Structure 1
Amino acid sequence: MPLIAWWGDKIKEAVEINEYISLADIAPTFLDAAGVFIPYETSRKSFLPLIVPEKSSEQKANRDFVVTHNERHAWVHPGGQMAASRAIHMDDHPLIHNLFPDMWPAGHIDAFYHWDLYPFGDADGGRAKTELLKARFTRDSALFKLVFGKRPEFELYNVKADPFNLSNLADKEEFRCVKEKLQTTLYEYLLATNDPWLTGYTTIYYQAPCYAMKGLPTYDLFLEDWNSLDSL
């Protein structure tokens, strides 16, 4: 996904930079641009040296890869569980580690576990979702599986040869070394940044209530579950 940066006449026009940037880079970049000290515990670095080097007090950071995370977006699984995943994007290969491959990634298939009583609650409703849900029982069921189906523990793709990420290479012997390299780099980063799923501090996720439900008719269905999590 491209990122567009504009800062009046300070950033040159029509300059394309092929470097890995994540949302976690934005805060240190703003601090850098404002001349404010960047805390040492910041997990990512300012990308100001890439776009306005004369305005930055930072050295150009090593951007060989970027790590992305997926957590619960809404209350869509029993007891507030979440189909969390971690991914690393490096060279032409994203590697995704689905931490709970037995769970439905877009929310539980049972509509009871969504505040709007709709299956796969992490996917917003609309005509496209309605048609995909219908496709589950037709000859187009492959489309349903692509969008809502359970994911394997590991997914590895080649974005140049397969830009839509449809061919999983994680179990291919010829990509074993690529997978191992990406796994090692990913876990080293997660440990260095104290990722809760690796350090065991997962209560930070389970004790976070979903306030979007308050005032809705189905809110009371989940209130007792939320309160019970306080004992974790």
Structure 2
Amino acid sequence: MSIYFHEKTWPELEQDIHKGAVAIVPLGMVEEHGPHMAVGADTMIAEDLCRDIGMAFSQEKDVPPVLVLPTFWSGYNMKIVHKWPGSLCVRASVLLQALTDICGSLAKMGIYRIVLVNGHGNHDGIVRQLVRDVADEYGVWMAAFDPPAFCGKLYQEIRQSPPGGACHACEWETSILLHYGRPVDMTKTTSEDLMTYSSKFVPQDGFCGSKKV
């Protein structure tokens, strides 16, 4: 039985809803990711992680059906990455409205267990607002998380990059793509920091803290 929402017929969805289905919403982004990774890296990571989460959950005993939605692949990113081609953006307000409508659609059809998996760091604030808006408008408290938040401690133990190497097109993202067999050209990787945008004294680790050097 497929775990994917979009591969179901409406009668199959109806049955899953009656069983208390859990919807998983992958949120990615299309933007430059250095010379070694595809511009769809964030989308690929969100998609692959949600597939694995859905498959693992569906194999547990006495659990409701899981429904993995199509990956939402666009959104907001920082102006600095527009120096290179590859960004397909929508305004933050548009992203918030679209995700609110999508999660609202799930709620209106009777799916009240909604989990959003965020694959793009710049979406953090938007996702927090989304959770509040969906709760206010539809009475559904959805869950949302960034996968790196679960591995910060372990990553610090095994990382090879110095502080600042866990932000964008980084060791973490590169490793995840390699794990899933996605295209990565390791001959084009570099330790040069091309993304310093605030201060050289504050490492730009996206999920391993930002204490001063």
State the TM bucket, normalised to the shorter chain: under 0.3
Q: Which structure carries more relative contact order (alpha carbon 8 Å, separation 6+)?
A: 2
Bigger radius of gyration, 1 or 2? 1
The two structures have a TM-score, normalised by structure 1, of 0.23
